[in-house]
């Protein structure tokens, strides 16, 4: 993975010094809270319900074992012994003190980490495919571009006070695991022999987003050579900075601007700006150079893989037969099926460690003991590196197939091998009303209740792939819009209610879910889930996943089932 | 208004100097530039006011003496008036770009466009709700003078400009660092 050079290290060290001074001015009263707020947000510091929360960037999802140990150390020393992995490749600490944040940031800087631009109206942490560089379906390894753009966007002076937050996602694989179209800018990388001399180019999507107005991004520019991304993105952001709405926070995202202008007109304005930035007299001084590419790309070479032969699932299982008892055999087989993914290199596999135990911890939470254990596992089995997924799980990306059983055993001790990846209980949830000041409703108890109600692994496996995403408010940090089943907490007359959406999806067929009707009380949600799932089970054809059944039948049978028994509780009007 | 400004030329050092330019908000417009505060004879007028009044004898006369500059509001689209801005290069010793509130970043783009698109060589001054913690960004995008909000501590302000010895993107003031 990427290693900081002198430039990167100097920058994060100096950023800590800058923030230390700002915190001091805040504490001695010379800097007002209103003016401190954007500064702390751009250093990842939120003021939450109970305490300050610190959001630390894990750029494009890559972490080293050493960094993870530092996160565990921070959790113990400055927090309550755990951290929360988010849907956008960050980790959050929920109980930090303002006075201590400069020290925490200094600890992070020692291991090449920071919290720069993880919040605020600026370019946020750039996210990508958690399986970048190892995914079997990858066209282009996106990580060098992610890193070049991370550097380009870090402390960008012109875009430090945009109308609203601005999120990039970058994908280079056939399957989209980045929720590309739900980002302000989605960058799809490709190589085409007839374009840019066969070198990397990008298709640019803009104006996607979730929140109050979920919209999928529009393609606004094709085949942008990688070298000119800085000037093209400067043009795009400049148009947004100048013309994005600032009069209404709910209409300030780029999606509203793109929608108001229309994607064609927006693209035309960006093109006009870009022509000026990129004209001949400027000689492409903003372009990424080959030397810069090499400086970054050399860190993303393949690790020292062994020459191994591929093991089939049957071989893996029979290899394990003699070493496991009957229950373990079932568990291990299921784990191979759900939590182990194919790898580019023969004899290797990607392993997803589930941070979704049924009802015993919040989705995405990891204790410091787990973090230290995972760091050890990464050292032992996966070249000392790991990744964070959009679904709030962790990945050991380079595991020898022959070591899978040993890894499974070791990870089992830390409750990390629940074979539920991609299943209903592998749900995404924001911290919700338990922690977040924005939330209208709690997310975690809903997640817990659903996980407890669907605690039968046989049944879950039979149901197959279903994504369930839960947000505690319309800000949609739980990405409920793109869940096959989405749950959104809403506030009605001071009470917490939950609205259900169906038919959302991420990936290449990304779609926004539709609200099925009036919202439900919290205690009705597990029964509503059962009704929806039963409808699917009754109606599905062989091997048809939930989303396909929904698309074939439409909302009506699901809606009827959901309201059959619950209609008497729910309020008459959809929110 | 602030009696002092920070002046930070592109290839120089930031210093505190006396403010010679009064910003007129364009209110109470009785057809001409109002009386300036005691001791002032140079004024920044709203860009839109200039567009409609620059042919007035009084305005043209004072502009000829180098006593008039303009300031751009955050929502002024300077790209719609390229000819006027080109002419302004020889008329306005100083132009301002206004921050209605410190967290409105539109004037960063205005300054960047002035420097980059119009190749503006004269002074570009940040005015309005200008606070210490914007100076660094402002200096990088194209501002070389800052009229800070009067409650801001100029001593702390002067320390802002050398907080970072490296940058990772090009701007008016500096090229991105690369390891040779």
Residue A572 has pLDDT above 80, yes or no: no
Q: What is the pLDDT of residue A333?
A: 94
Q: Which two tokens stand for residue A566?
A: 């619950």
Closest CA to A157 of B163, B69, B6: B163
Residue A89 has pLDDT above 90, yes or no: yes
Contact check, Cβ <8 Å, A160/B108: yes
Taking only the tens place, the pLDDT of each residue in A398-412 is: 999 999 999 999 999
Q: How confident is the model at residue B109 (pLDDT cuts 50, 70, 90)?
A: very high
Closest CA to A424 of A390, A388, A451: A451
Choose the weakest-confidence range: A46-55, B89-98, B131-140. A46-55
Contact check, Cβ <8 Å, B179/A242: no
Q: Which two tokens stand for residue A228?
A: 């000119």
Q: What is the pLDDT of residue A487?
A: 97
What is the three-class DSSP state of A82?
strand
Closest CA to A8 of B2, B81, B167, B96: B167
Of B77, B106, B164, the CB nearest to A14: B164
Q: How confident is the model at residue A437 (pLDDT cuts 50, 70, 90)?
A: confident
Which of A114, A242, A257, A272 to mutate: most B Cβ within 10 Å? A242
Q: Which two tokens stand for residue A295?
A: 């400086």
Closest CA to A41 of A153, A122, A151: A122
Q: What is the pLDDT of residue A493?
A: 85
Q: How confident is the model at residue A575 (pLDDT cuts 50, 70, 90)?
A: very low
Contact check, Cβ <8 Å, A161/B77: no
Q: What is the pLDDT of residue A278?
A: 84
Which of A22, A157, A228, A238 to mutate: most B Cβ within 10 Å? A157
Q: What is the pLDDT of residue A280?
A: 65
Read off the pLDDT of each residue in A261-279 and give the average, rounded to a whole number: 95
Taking only the tens place, the pLDDT of each residue in A373-394 is: 999 999 999 999 999 999 999 9
Residue A573 has pLDDT above 50, yes or no: no
Residue A359 has pLDDT above 60, yes or no: yes
Residue A63's beta-bridge partner residues? Answer: A386
Q: How confident is the model at residue A28 (pLDDT cuts 50, 70, 90)?
A: very high
Taking only the tens place, the pLDDT of each residue in A498-538 is: 999 999 999 888 999 999 999 999 999 999 999 999 999 99
Measured distance CA(B26)–CA(B34) in Å, rounded: 9
Read off the pLDDT of each residue in A106-115 and give the average, rounded to a whole number: 98
Render B94-141 in DSSP notation, one character per residue: EEEEEESSTT-THHHHHHHHHHHTS---SEEEEEES--GGGHHHHHHH
Residue A34 has pLDDT above 60, yes or no: yes
Query: Sign of the CA dihedral A51, A57, A63, A66?
Result: negative
Taking only the tens place, the pLDDT of each residue in A331-352 is: 999 999 999 999 999 999 999 9
Residue B83 has pLDDT above 50, yes or no: yes
Interacting residues of A157 by C-beta distance below 8 A, sequence separation 6+ = B108, B136, B137, B138, B140, B141, B169, B171
Contact check, Cβ <8 Å, A241/B106: yes
Check CB contact of A568 with chain B, cutoff 8 Å. no
Residue B160 has pLDDT above 50, yes or no: yes
Read off the pLDDT of each residue in B157-173 and give the average, rounded to a whole number: 96
Q: What is the pLDDT of residue A282?
A: 74
Pairing assessment for the beta strands A520-521 and A495-502 based on DSSP bridges: antiparallel
Report yes or no: B148 and B155 within 8 Å, Cβ to Cβ: no
Q: What is the pLDDT of residue A574?
A: 39
3-state secondary structure B43-88: EEEEHHHHHHHCCCHHHHHHHHCCCEEEEECCCCCHHHCHHHHHHH
Taking only the tens place, the pLDDT of each residue in B19-31 is: 999 999 988 777 7
Q: How confident is the model at residue A179 (pLDDT cuts 50, 70, 90)?
A: very high
State pTM to two decimals.
0.95
Q: What does pLDDT average to over chain B?
A: 95
Distance between B96 CA and the closest CA of chain A, angstroms: 17
CA of A505: how far to CAs of A509, A510, A528, B11, in Å?
7, 5, 20, 53
Contact check, Cβ <8 Å, A159/B140: no
Read off the pLDDT of each residue in B154-174 and give the average, rounded to a whole number: 96
Contact check, Cβ <8 Å, A151/B166: no
Q: How confident is the model at residue A439 (pLDDT cuts 50, 70, 90)?
A: confident
> A317: burial class by Cβ within 10 Å (0-12, 13-18, 19+)?
middle
Measured distance CA(A525)–CA(A215) in Å, rounded: 26
Percentage of chain A modeled with pLDDT above 90: 89
Residue A79 has pLDDT above 60, yes or no: yes
More confident position, A575 or A568: A568
Contact check, Cβ <8 Å, B166/A155: no
Nearest CA in chain B to A285: B170
Residue B124 has pLDDT above 60, yes or no: yes
Nearest CA in chain B to A272: B79
Taking only the tens place, the pLDDT of each residue in A444-458 is: 999 999 999 999 999
In terms of phi and psi (left: phi > 0; alpha: psi -120 to 50; beta: otherwise), the region of A279 is beta
Nearest CA in chain B to A147: B168
Contact check, Cβ <8 Å, A155/B170: no
| Residues of B with Cβ-Cβ distance to A25 under 8 angstroms | 156
Read off the pLDDT of each residue in B108-135 and give the average, rounded to a whole number: 97
Distance between A40 CA and the closest CA of chain B, angstroms: 12
How many CB atoms are located within 10 Å of the residue A36 CB? Answer: 18
Read off the pLDDT of each residue in A142-161 and give the average, rounded to a whole number: 98
Q: What does pLDDT average to over chain A?
A: 95
Taking only the tens place, the pLDDT of each residue in B65-75 is: 999 999 999 99
Q: How confident is the model at residue A72 (pLDDT cuts 50, 70, 90)?
A: very high
**How many CA atoms lie less than 13 Å away from A164 in the CB half-sphere?**
22
Closest CA to A105 of A96, A114, A97: A114
Q: What is the pLDDT of residue A372?
A: 98
Q: What is the pLDDT of residue A279?
A: 77
Residue A559 has pLDDT above 50, yes or no: yes
């Amino acid at each position: 993975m990427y290693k900081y050079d002198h430039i990167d290290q100097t920058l994060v060290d100096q950023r800590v010094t800058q923030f230390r001074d700002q915190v001091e001015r805040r504490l001695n009263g010379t800097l007002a809270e209103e003016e401190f707020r954007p500064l702390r947000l751009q250093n990842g510091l939120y003021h939450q319900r109970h305490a300050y929360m610190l959001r630390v960037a894990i750029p494009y999802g890559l972490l080293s074992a050493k960094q993870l140990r530092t996160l565990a150390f921070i959790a113990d020393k400055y927090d309550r012994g755990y951290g929360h992995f988010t849907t956008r490749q960050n980790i959050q600490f929920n109980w930090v003190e303002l006075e201590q944040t400069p020290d925490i940031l200094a600890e992070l800087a020692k291991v090449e980490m920071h919290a720069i631009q993880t919040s605020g109206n600026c370019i946020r942490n750039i996210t990508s495919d958690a399986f970048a560089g190892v995914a079997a379906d990858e066209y282009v390894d996106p990580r060098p571009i992610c890193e070049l753009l991370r550097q380009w966007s870090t402390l960008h002076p012109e875009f430090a006070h945009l109308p609203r937050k601005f999120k990039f996602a970058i994908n280079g694989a056939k399957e989209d695991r980045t929720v590309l179209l739900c980002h302000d800018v989605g960058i799809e990388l490709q190589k085409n022999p007839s374009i840019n001399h066969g070198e990397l180019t990008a298709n640019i999507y803009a104006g996607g987003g979730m929140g109050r107005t979920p919209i999928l991004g529009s393609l606004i520019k094709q085949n942008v050579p990688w070298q000119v991304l800085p000037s093209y993105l400067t043009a795009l952001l400049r148009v947004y900075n100048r013309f994005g709405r600032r009069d209404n926070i709910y209409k300030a995202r780029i999606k509203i601007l793109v929608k108001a202008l229309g994607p064609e007109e927006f693209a035309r304005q960006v093109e006009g700006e870009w022509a000026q930035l990129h004209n001949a007299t400027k000689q492409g001084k903003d372009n990424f150079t080959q030397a810069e590419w090499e400086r970054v790309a050399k860190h993303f070479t393949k690790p020292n893989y062994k020459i191994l032969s591929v093991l089939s699932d049957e071989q893996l299982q029979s290899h394990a037969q003699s070493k496991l008892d009957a229950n373990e055999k079932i568990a291990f087989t299921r784990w191979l099926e759900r939590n182990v993914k194919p790898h580019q290199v023969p004899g290797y596999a990607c392993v997803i460690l589930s941070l979704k135990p049924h009802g015993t911890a919040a989705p995405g939470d990891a204790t410091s003991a787990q973090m230290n254990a995972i760091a050890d596992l990464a050292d032992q089995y996966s070249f000392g590196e790991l990744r964070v997924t959009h679904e709030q799980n962790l990945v050991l990306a380079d595991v020898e197939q022959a070591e899978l059983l040993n890894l499974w055993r070791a990870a089992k001790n830390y409750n990390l091998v629940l074979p539920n990846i991609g299943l209903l209980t592998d749900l995404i949830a924001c911290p919700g009303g338990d922690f977040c000041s924005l939330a209208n409703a709690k997310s975690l108890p809903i997640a817990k209740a659903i996980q407890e109600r669907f605690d039968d692994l046989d049944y879950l496996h039979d149901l197959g792939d279903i994504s369930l995403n839960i947000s505690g408010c319309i800000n949609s940090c739980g990405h409920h819009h793109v869940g096959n089943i989405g749950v959104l907490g809403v506030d009605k007359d001071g009470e917490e209610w939950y609205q259900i959406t169906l038919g959302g999806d991420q990936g290449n067929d990304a779609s926004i879910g539709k609200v099925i009707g009036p919202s439900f009380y919290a205690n009705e949600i597990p029964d509503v889930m059962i009704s929806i799932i039963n409808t699917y089970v009754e109606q599905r054809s062989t091997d048809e996943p939930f989303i396909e059944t929904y698309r074939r039948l439409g909302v009506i049978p699901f809606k009827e089932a959901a309201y059959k028994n619950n209609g008497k509780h729910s309020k008459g009007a959809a929110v | 208004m602030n009696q002092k400004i920070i002046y930070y030329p592109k290839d120089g050092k930031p210093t505190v100097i006396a403010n010679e330019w009064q910003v007129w908000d364009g209110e109470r417009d009785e057809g001409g530039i109002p009386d300036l505060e005691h001791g002032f004879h140079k004024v920044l007028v709203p860009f839109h006011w200039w567009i409609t009044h620059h042919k007035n004898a009084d305005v043209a006369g004072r502009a000829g003496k180098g006593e008039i500059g303009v300031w751009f509001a955050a929502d002024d689209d300077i790209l719609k008036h390229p000819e006027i801005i080109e002419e302004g290069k020889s008329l306005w010793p100083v132009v301002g770009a206004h921050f209605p509130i410190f967290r409105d970043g539109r004037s960063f783009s205005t300054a960047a466009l002035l420097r980059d698109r119009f190749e503006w060589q004269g002074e570009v001054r940040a005015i309005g709700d200008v606070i210490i913690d914007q100076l660094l960004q402002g200096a990088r995008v194209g501002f070389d003078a800052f009229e800070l909000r009067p409650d801001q501590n100029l001593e702390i302000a002067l320390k802002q400009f050398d907080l970072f010895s490296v940058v990772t993107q090009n701007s008016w003031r500096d090229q991105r660092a690369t390891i040779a």
